[in-house]
Amino acid sequence: MPSLSACLFVFPVAGKEISAFQIVHSTLSNRQDQPIRRGNPYIEGGLAVSPGSKPERFVFAVEEAVLEDLRRRLAATRLPDEIPGAGWQYGAERSYVKELIDYWRRDYDWRAREASLNRLDHYRVRMEDITLHYIHQPGVGPAPLPLLLTHGWPGSIFEFTKIIGPLTDPGRYGGDPKDAFTVVAPSLPGYGFSHSPDQRRLGIEEIADLFARLMSDVLGFQRFAAQGGDWGSFVTARLGFAHSDKTVGIHLNMVPLAPHPRDRADLSDAEKAFIEESKYFLAEETGYQWIQGTKPQTLAYGLNDSPAGLAAWITEKFQTWTDCHGDLEDRITKDELLTNIMIYWVTGTINSSFYLYHRLKHRPWRLGPGERIEAPTAVAAFPGEILRPPKEWAARMFNLKRWTAMPQGGHFAALEEPEALVEDIRAFFRDLR
Task: Please calculate the CA angle 251-374-36 and round it to the nearest 5 degrees.
Answer: 55
* Residues 53, 50: Cα–Cα separation, whole Å: 5
Residues of the chain under the 50 pLDDT cut: 2-49, 51-52
pLDDT score at 29:
30
Q: Which domain holds residue 113?
A: 3-430
* Residues 86, 76: Cα–Cα separation, whole Å: 24
pLDDT score at 53:
75
Please tell me which residue in 230, 243, 344, 358 is annotated as part of the active site: 230
pLDDT score at 41:
34
pTM: 0.89
pLDDT score at 282:
86
Please tell me which residue in 151, 243, 357, 358 is annotated as part of the active site: 357
Which CATH number does the domain housing residue 402 bear?
Answer: 3.40.50.1820
Is 184:151 a contact under the CB 8 Å cutoff?
Answer: no
Is 366:9 a contact under the CB 8 Å cutoff?
Answer: no
Q: Catalytic: 411?
A: yes
pLDDT score at 306:
99
Q: Catalytic: 330?
A: no
pLDDT score at 201:
81
The residues, any chain, with a CB within 8 Å of residue 377's CB and separated by 6 or more, are 240, 249, 250, 251, 252, 394, 398, 399, 400, 401, 402
pLDDT score at 162:
98
Taking alpha carbons only, the member of 219, 213, 232 closest to residue 182 is 219
pLDDT score at 1:
52
The DSSP call for residue 157 is G
Is 365:205 a contact under the CB 8 Å cutoff?
Answer: yes
Per the structure, how many domains does the chain have?
1
Q: Catalytic: 173?
A: no
Rg (CA), the chain: 21
pLDDT score at 9:
39
Q: How far is CA 146 from CA 111, 142, 180, in A?
A: 30, 13, 9
pLDDT score at 406:
99
